[in-house]
Amino acid sequence: MSGPRVVFAGTPEFARASLEALCGAGFLPVAVLTQPDRPAGRGKKLTASPVKAFAVANGIEVLQPVSLKDDAVVAQLESLQADIMIVAAYGLLLPQRVLDIPRHGCLNVHASVLPRWRGAAPIQAAILAGDRQTGVCLMAMTAGLDCGPVYASVTLDIGAEETAGELHDRLAVAGGRLLVEHLPDILHGDAAAVAQDDEIATYAHKIRTGDAAIDWQRPAAELARLVRAYNPVPGAWFMLGNERIKCWRAETVADGSGVPGQVLAADASGVVVACGDGALRLLELQRPGKRRGTAAQFVASAAIAGRQL
């Protein structure tokens, strides 16, 4: 007897972890959907997504439609005769007629414990909000944004100094484990999905570069979370003259105070900047076109002591 016909839809590294877990558990997809190749790196060379790279390496058919609204694409998906479609950070909205194709519907691996942080950037949102915990859940997909009933979830503590990149990697692994643990029961009809409470839902909007701008009027504790939330993408930043400086690591200073944006100290231990409440010590910085460096390296290359940012 052959196994279930699984179609997988995903694009970035978070999704690749679920795909790898699926294959490792014997659920080899009949096809993988992923975003079209995009320009990447300084040379802007067309680059395959992590999901595509994994699928190609494992001999899985890859489909890269620009949209799922095209009749020919829908017909192609129907021809796969999927029992279930598993979706993880795919990047394209699934219209209702696509959601209706698999016999057991579409299952989403989402990087939060729904209904908290529906939307595009739940990992960053959890850190920005100062949440102490987050997690991953398996959701039965509906036409609404991350509002379908939830089959299962797992909760992880957020480290006090953990960046979005570090948390992402842990959640990606947890998502893969959760998926293969519960998929058999979902396919056999032995798992019950619980409706979300819409009254307590929160939303994590898509990240824009401007979101990562450091506003020195804000409390230092908020800005420390902002630096963590936008590491590695897009990177928290502030202006020093005409230069956009990125800050990759920072910490609050207990006794710092001054006019917001005032550089209170700049030495090998860090660049201390007054905030709306308290001060922030910048520990790892990057000038345009340069590599990330320590505060000591930055202070040696940029005149920042005493400046008003």
- Could you tell me if 186 and 92 lie in one domain? yes
- Could you tell me if 180 and 225 lie in one domain? no
Where residue 190 sits, what CATH number does that domain have? 3.40.50.170
CA distances to 47, 51, 92, 296 from 87, rounded to whole Å, are 21, 12, 10, 45
Residue 307 lies in a domain: no
Residue 308 lies in a domain: no
Residue 4's nearest CA partner among 37, 29, 31 is: 29
pLDDT digits (tens, 9 = 90+) for 183-206: 999 999 999 999 999 999 999 999
pLDDT digits (tens, 9 = 90+) for 112-160: 999 999 999 999 999 999 999 999 999 999 988 899 999 999 999 999 9
How far apart CA 218 and CA 113 sit, in angstroms, is 28
CB neighbour burial string for 87-120, b if at least 16 within 10 angstroms, e if fewer: bbbbbbebeeebbebbebbbbbbbbbbbbbbbbb
- Could you tell me if 250 and 194 lie in one domain? no
- Could you tell me if 100 and 162 lie in one domain? yes
- Could you tell me if 144 and 221 lie in one domain? no
Look at residue 254 in the predicted model and tell me its pLDDT.
80
- Could you tell me if 294 and 273 lie in one domain? yes
Residue 244's nearest CA partner among 309, 294, 165, 164 is: 309
Look at residue 1 in the predicted model and tell me its pLDDT.
44
Return the structure tokens found at 139: 């959701």
- Could you tell me if 67 and 177 lie in one domain? yes
Residue 114 lies in a domain: yes
Residue 81 lies in a domain: yes
Name the domain count of the chain: 2
- Could you tell me if 184 and 57 lie in one domain? yes
SS3 85: strand
- Could you tell me if 279 and 160 lie in one domain? no
Residue 309 lies in a domain: no
- Could you tell me if 192 and 287 lie in one domain? no
The pTM (predicted TM-score) of the whole model is 0.94
- Could you tell me if 223 and 294 lie in one domain? yes
pLDDT digits (tens, 9 = 90+) for 17-40: 999 999 999 999 999 999 998 887
- Could you tell me if 142 and 272 lie in one domain? no
Domain that holds residue 281: 211-301
Give residue 206's identity as a one-letter amino acid code: K
Alpha helices in 38-136 (DSSP H): 50-57, 71-79, 96-99, 122-128
